[in-house]
Structure 1
């Protein structure tokens, strides 16, 4: 009888796994206000949980290739930035083919792609701040081959003077490092479960983020409702408390009425979960 031969994952494969897991964990997290989760499709009529899973899985080859490019080139510079841009656009086309044209994870490709490459450049460095700084240095480089047409998020960011996904990355993911991750760790210190800690992290991101998805759908009224409502949940004791759950349900209903889905915050929660996994990895990749 031959012994079972197990495939040892490469660094690039491990990082792609972590990125896809972060996307699936974000999608599964429930109850998220006005977002796709295990309860339903939130404020979206073209999305559902199965589609979010399929989209996340379709991006695995792109994340793997981004990590491989970082390993091969070995340094932050224009060649790597442009390689990431090309791979990201190819990954987006694979995503759209899987979802039949529905934009499920465009923002996440940008955020997680940068973080995957940043992790691959220095796998021995697990510090969140150092990881985000490497990603920011990549984001600040100009991809000469990027299409000139502005995405909805970029158009809204320009109209409202909001910080879009590009600027969030260029600044080193402050919504993650200053709000999401600290709240995740703070909530974990109480014995209320991982799901509640992740919900609190999402809400902490929402309290300050100028979410361009919300602005596109519901303008400043929607943004104000999101930020104030998320803060009210945390002030009431967070998602693990009865009062917090009541506020969370109120926020959900308010955002649904406004058709305001905080997709930008969801992408940053996935980034938060990815960074958290990198920090907590034991031993070498």
Structure 2
């Protein structure tokens, strides 16, 4: 059974949104991603997926713990422009956010990638240099991300090792490019499913699958190597080619994909972060009056 996900009313006009408003939007995107069920091998309403150290309660506690740091990022960016100094301020707040996340989850990494992605978008939203929609918001976030973090501690994370091994840019490259997997794949899939009359949960599942089908997800690569990545991408394509999660064939394909990734103990955590980005940007588009517009185009055929 697909669990219903919560929908918040639109915030005030974006140009007048406060730092707390931007934080609310980011936290809600994280909550909506976590609550969406069933997601292949990810934490959701059924259980922990392939994450033995996480569950839905921890994910929701982590999201709530990030509310204050997200608001601090929005305040830091208000009236600013992309610059090395702004990047450094945001990075410092981001490190505090990671500490709060770890405290909320008893030491588990629930949202490190999402802190980076949504933190940039919250800052870009607070700046709103030209009042543009999701594409411009993502472009402003990219302009911030391209500045180096002068005070980065140089941690050798799982993601960094995977990027070196496979020659990938990872989360940083995705942000520097303006989150193309969310803007050009996730958002169009979400809107296409809604236009076809599918329920919101099915539409969000299709958005996740559209991202999975193309993203070189470093979480999958870390846990299961190229075999897990290829299985996830092919499985996601199969569901979309069958008509999406709302169809009988698509649903069966989604269940097969879930079982396959669970057997491999591999989870598309990077795709989940970008689903949260997609939902955040979708909320901005809806409050801007562009809920039915299509951003970018995606092809479901190989």
| 33-42 or 122-131: bigger deviation | 122-131
Please tell me whether residue 70 in structure 1 is matched to residue 67 in structure 2. no
How far apart are residue 282 of structure 1 and its match? 5.1
Partner of 1:29: 36
- Counterparts of 1:2-81 in structure 2, within 5 Å, are 11-72=18-79, 74-81=80-87
Which structure 2 segments of 5+ residues have no match? 1-11, 290-302
| Alpha-carbon distance between aligned partners in 2 of 1:122 and 1:104, rounded to the nearest angstrom | 28
Q: Normalising by the residue count of structure 2, what TM-score does the alignment of the two structures yield?
A: 0.89
Indicate conservation of the 8 Å contact 2:133/2:288, yes or no: no
Query: What CA deviation, in whole Å up to 9, does each residue of 1:19-51 have, x standing for no partner?
Result: 000000000001100000001110111111011
**Equivalent pairs, count:** 275
Partner of 2:163: 157
| Alpha-carbon distance between aligned partners in 1 of 2:288 and 2:272, rounded to the nearest angstrom | 26
Please tell me whether residue 240 in structure 1 is matched to residue 246 in structure 2. yes
Runs (4 or more) in structure 1 with deviation over 3 Å come to: none
| Alpha-carbon distance between aligned partners in 2 of 1:133 and 1:236, rounded to the nearest angstrom | 33
Describe the SS at the equivalent of 1:119: helix
How far apart are residue 163 of structure 1 and its match? 3.3
Please tell me whether residue 166 in structure 1 is matched to residue 176 in structure 2. no
Indicate conservation of the 8 Å contact 1:126/1:279, yes or no: no
- Counterparts of 1:192-271 in structure 2, within 5 Å, are 192-271=198-277
Partner of 1:183: 189
| Alpha-carbon distance between aligned partners in 1 of 2:23 and 2:132, rounded to the nearest angstrom | 16
Partner of 2:9: none
Query: What CA deviation, in whole Å up to 9, does each residue of 1:171-230 have, x standing for no partner?
Result: 111111111011111111011211100000000000010000000000000000000000
- Counterparts of 1:112-131 in structure 2, within 5 Å, are 112-122=118-128, 125-131=131-137
How far apart are residue 150 of structure 1 and its match? 2.5
